[in-house]
Structure 1
Amino acid sequence: MNIQAYIESGILEEYVLGTVSPQEKQEVECMSHIYPEIKEELLRTENALEEYALKHQTPPPASLKESIFARLEFDSEIETNHETNSAQAAGTQEEIRLNDGVEHVRPVNTDNGKVIADVFERPEVETREVTPIWAKIAVAAAILLAVFAGWSAMQMSEYRRGNEQLAAELGSLKGEVAGMKSSLAYSEALAGMYRDPSYKVVKLAGMPKSPESAVAAFWNQQTNEVMLDVQNLPAPPAGKQYQLWTIVDNKPVDVGVLDNEFSGKVLRMKNTKPGAVAFAITLEKEGGVPSPTMEEMYVMGKVS
């Protein structure tokens, strides 16, 4: 198994972000147990995500607690002592009319029986509805829970956005790393051929059709292998493709068509015949032709 290719596939980042399917999740966990390199990369990715989340986390606003408790209005303790009404009149009096026609008032003897003044009148007592303290605590808890639930939802949304941003950054970083590896391999391949004495370097300069064009051909005179480094060539139009030729015994020999994605690559062409005296590139119809179109020659170089 190509462990490096598996790591660079992006499945470890998706596993950490929780976007993989159950089958892929099981696969990553199994592979991390089998291959220490995958486990190490997985831990590195998890640590990077955790550091990013901690770095960008948002603490609750300092005024959150005060704003919650400010909304709660607790009453003072329930008043339990009430004033009692007088059970008896301070002095119960009875009007007595004497024979002289003058009304006299005397106290009523209440020893044998109590006389209750205003027996049919009941004083109006102010009533007040008192909310139990546990009910207020329950309301406070509900409000607090609702506020924190909203705050948690906001945090989760920001956390997800952070994850998406981190995934994008990881993807961009992975692309940059891949590009650097490709560029490094390209440079190493060129340096190796320039240092290898078995390769003959042939410089192909631009022709009047395209004076700014430049190509380097590397011809292994022992194996007749041909490699190309396209330094500057216009992008071929649709339906067209560049074709390489060598001149052997005054006749053009087809060495193959160039890949249209030739920039930054060392192209491996077909082997040529021994005794090549020159190399040239023409623009032909896609797939190549048996004989070169001389009017469409872009570059040419002689073997020195």
Structure 2
Amino acid sequence: MNISAYIDSGILEEYALGIVSPQEKQEVECLTQVYPELKAELELIEKALEQYALQHGVPVPSRVKDTIFAQMKFGPVAMATEDDGGTTETSPDVAADDEVRSVEPQTATVHPLWGRLAVAASVLLAIFGAWAAYQYGAARDENEQLASQVENLNEQTNTLQQRAEYNEALAANYRNPDVKIVQMPGLEKAPNSEVVALWNQKTNEVLLDVRNLPAPPTGKQYQLWTIVDGKPVDMGMLDDDFQGKLLRMKNSSPNAVAFAITLEDDGGKPSPTMEEMVVMGQV
């Protein structure tokens, strides 16, 4: 069940206001017992409606009571008289004559002011409750939108920060006289590729700046090599996420004469697959 979609449908607000059908009422009560998220959301809505009613309720003036009772009107009171062993309802206003007149029973429907006020108050409460539920839903949507915008902003900030750190580190290496810059252009298998090896000949640390390299297929990974005394030496595997960052590889031998990258199976191989070589550069 999509909990978020059910909450956004507004059924919980309608349930809290008591304007759902019996079937919908049973459905909400069942689902809130099964899903704690729905129960918690319903409790929040009910609390919000209760707080709104408490904050916006208008106290009834004390003089209203006197006004209500003053306006309450009742019809004639029915009285029973015996007639041939039976009873007849008569009005108390009937005069005692020699001949007892037959009087139709009178009834009066009383609609006191307090009853009308109660109905009006219920209607107003329902209206205010619906408005509060709408405001609550709108505020929740706005908060979710703001949270999404903040998240996107944080991602953009992190990207800019990483980019700044990358540029700063790259510039520091290019300015360092101990760092040998080894350009590795693309070979026939990947002619548009370009990778730069930053080799600190004092510490033998090697950093890779991947400027252009195709994303490896599934199950494949790039591997760096150096050529030392005519033999390839493993320099480690490139991270799959190699764009826009300097990759720290294994330290190189002082006798390295070239750098190359091949496309190998995940985890690499002890010796390079020569036909899968994508870039290479002489020291």
SS in structure 2 of the partner of residue 242 of structure 1? strand
Q: Structure 1: which 5+ residue stretches go unaligned?
A: 1-76, 81-115
**How far 1:290 moved relative to its partner?**
2.3
Aligned residue for 2:117? Answer: 137
Aligned residue for 1:170? Answer: 150
Matches of 1:230 and 1:146, distance apart in 2:
64
SS in structure 2 of the partner of residue 201 of structure 1? strand
The one of 165, 168, 189 equivalent to 1:188 is: 168
**How far 1:291 moved relative to its partner?**
2.1
Cα contact 2:199–2:205 (8 A) shared by 1 = yes
What TM-score results when the alignment is normalised by the length of structure 2? 0.61
**How far 1:230 moved relative to its partner?**
0.8
Which AA in structure 2 matches 1:186? Y
Pairs within 5 Å for 1:266-281: 266-281=246-261
What's the C-alpha RMSD, in Å, of the aligned pairs? 2.9
Pairs within 5 Å for 1:195-274: 195-274=175-254
Which AA in structure 1 matches 2:143? N
Change (3 A) 1:253 1:117: closer
Aligned residues: 197
Are residue 301 (structure 1) and residue 277 (structure 2) matched? no
Change (3 A) 1:78 1:245: closer
**How far 1:210 moved relative to its partner?**
0.8
Which AA in structure 2 matches 1:139? V
User: Highest CA radius of gyration, 1 or 2?
Assistant: 1
Change (3 A) 1:227 1:125: same
**How far 1:160 moved relative to its partner?**
1.7
**How far 1:197 moved relative to its partner?**
1.6
Matches of 1:226 and 1:78, distance apart in 2:
98
Aligned residue for 1:56? Answer: none
Stretch of structure 1 that moved more, 171-180 or 208-217: 171-180
Change (3 A) 1:191 1:129: same
**How far 1:286 moved relative to its partner?**
2.2
**How far 1:220 moved relative to its partner?**
0.2
Q: Percent identity?
A: 55
Stretch of structure 1 that moved more, 174-183 or 270-279: 174-183
Aligned residue for 1:152? Answer: 132
What TM-score results when the alignment is normalised by the length of structure 1? 0.57
SS in structure 1 of the partner of residue 256 of structure 2? coil
